[in-house]
Amino acid sequence: MFEIEKRAGLARVGKIITPHGEIETPAFVVAATKATTKALTNAEIRDLGGQAVLANTYHLLLRPGAEIVEQAGGLSKFMAWDGPTFTDSGGFQVMSLPGTKVTDEGAEFINIYNGDKVKMTPEDSMRIQWQIGADIHMAFDHVADSSEHAAMKACMERTHAWAERCLEEHQRLTTRCAAISRRQQPGGDPLFALKGKTPHTPQDSALTSYQALFGVVQGGYFKDLREESAGFHASLPFDGFGIGSTYRAEGLMEVLTTTNSILPEEKPRHLLGMGQEPRDIFIGVEGGCDTFDCVAPTRMARNGTLYTHDGRLNINNSAMTRDFRPVDAECDCYTCQNHTRAYLAHLFRADEITGKVLATIHNERFVVRLTDQTRESLLDGTFDEFKKAFLSRYYK
């Protein structure tokens, strides 16, 4: 499901093949936590160059419920996004939600809507993701952010134990699906029973209807733990890998070089949650990651912070009210092609939702385009020059 077209050090240009189409990598995956990208329609995601979206298991479990997504025909049909889809496992909520309890068995969250307790084991996460039916699933991991080696080691070891359980459950579900398929359609597609949630192309096969599982490497910013976790995951038959528990650019390159030097080259690597800063993308690409996701571009857009080639711009600043230039003169997004800073500043001050829409289109386009440009620069051998020019201007 992954083809590498070109390598440059750890970096690579490739193509992830999913039942819902291909992702040309490096690629920025658009966050769609609750089966929508906040403030955007699918048409807008397409227009700004988004290739794939990432939804969240915990959030869709609570609303609308995994059964409903399954009955709708899976995430892709439910949200009418015909491109590739990812789901995050809920592991991030272990860290982000208050009141979460973790044991070796699994995690106990609170339901953010009514305060109920929500238990989720690695097996639960696999089943729920199976119901949601994205193309690429993430293993349920124990996410943490600590500067203490012992704490991160404990999270890593728990993640490893969970990884094996995730894999086993994922394989059991696949096998069961194949059995149903054989019964319903003897001699046909071995994963026919998945067809409701997968598509449609004439060349549908076991390969293309397969739902992939990525294991998630842990270990924080500790070299020895990353080595151990990467080695552990490399030995297991995951379809690809997520790299988790990274939060800042400092030390990220070391984490990635350590991890990606050990992970098998022929499988895709997704850097989870990184991409707020342009430098994160450059480090990620150079460090050998293929896909990225981050909520920051859309969140910052809603809160009024916009990317430009010359750094961040706060559209709420008073100077914007009479600035009739586009947000970024060199941006090709709908917002910059049609509107001025002054207009956006007006919409934000008037609290009009269109302001947030236009800002989100811009920020998401900015980071998607940046990632696409790293791909092009790798292909024509100008990555280093592109990186230097971009970063020196952005961070001045």
**Burial classification of residue 58, based on how many CB atoms lie within 10 Å of its CB (0-12 exposed, 13-18 middle, 19 or more buried):** buried
Instruction: Tell me the closest approach of the beta carbon of residue 72 to RNA, in angstroms.
Output: 20
Selection from 300, 324, 302, 322 nearest residue 312 by Cα? 300
Out of 290, 293, 328, 372, the active site residue is: 293
DSSP code for 90: S
Among 15, 149, 223, 302, binds RNA (CB under 7 A): 302
Q: What is the C-alpha radius of gyration for the chain, rounded to an integer number of angstroms? A: 21
Among 18, 25, 42, 56, binds RNA (CB under 7 A): 56
Instruction: Tell me the closest approach of the beta carbon of residue 193 to RNA, in angstroms.
Output: 27
Q: How far is the C-alpha of 257 from the C-alpha of 286, rounded, in Å?
A: 9
Among 50, 219, 240, 273, binds RNA (CB under 7 A): 273
**Alpha carbon of 170 to those of 57, 150, 266: distances in Å?**
15, 30, 21
Residue with token string 């490893």: 160
How many chain residues bind RNA (CB under 7 A)?
57
Task: Give whichever of 261 and 321 is closer to RNA, judged by the CB atom.
Answer: 321
Instruction: Tell me the closest approach of the beta carbon of residue 66 to RNA, in angstroms.
Output: 16
Residue ranges in 342-371 that form contacts with RNA under rule CB under 7 A: 349, 351, 353, 356
The yes-or-no answer on residue 290 being catalytic is no
Instruction: Tell me the closest approach of the beta carbon of residue 142 to RNA, in angstroms.
Output: 8
DSSP 318-334: GGGGG--S-S-TT--SH
The yes-or-no answer on residue 293 being catalytic is yes
Tally of helices (H runs) and strands (E runs) in the chain: 15, 16
CA angle 25, 28, 33 (to 5 degrees): 135
Instruction: Tell me the closest approach of the beta carbon of residue 352 to RNA, in angstroms.
Output: 9
Selection from 159, 172, 204 nearest residue 185 by Cα? 204
Among 48, 132, 173, 294, binds RNA (CB under 7 A): 294
Q: How far is the C-alpha of 213 from the C-alpha of 168, rounded, in Å?
A: 11
Interface pattern 2-31 for RNA (x via CB under 7 A): -----------------------------x
Interface region with RNA, contact rule CB under 7 A, candidates 92-100, 177-185, 255-263, 382-390: 92-100
Contact in structure between 244 and 143 (CB atoms under 8 Å): yes
Contact in structure between 292 and 282 (CB atoms under 8 Å): no
143 binds RNA (CB under 7 A): yes
Task: Give whichever of 190 and 304 is closer to RNA, judged by the CB atom.
Answer: 304
Q: How far is the C-alpha of 89 from the C-alpha of 292, rounded, in Å?
A: 15
Residue ranges in 112-141 that form contacts with RNA under rule CB under 7 A: 112, 138, 141
Question: Which residues form the catalytic set?
Answer: 88, 293
Residues that bind RNA (CB under 7 A): 31, 33, 37-38, 54, 56, 59, 88-89, 91-93, 95-99, 112, 138, 141, 143, 216, 242, 244-245, 247-249, 272-277, 280, 293-296, 298-300, 302-305, 312, 314, 316-319, 321, 349, 351, 353, 356
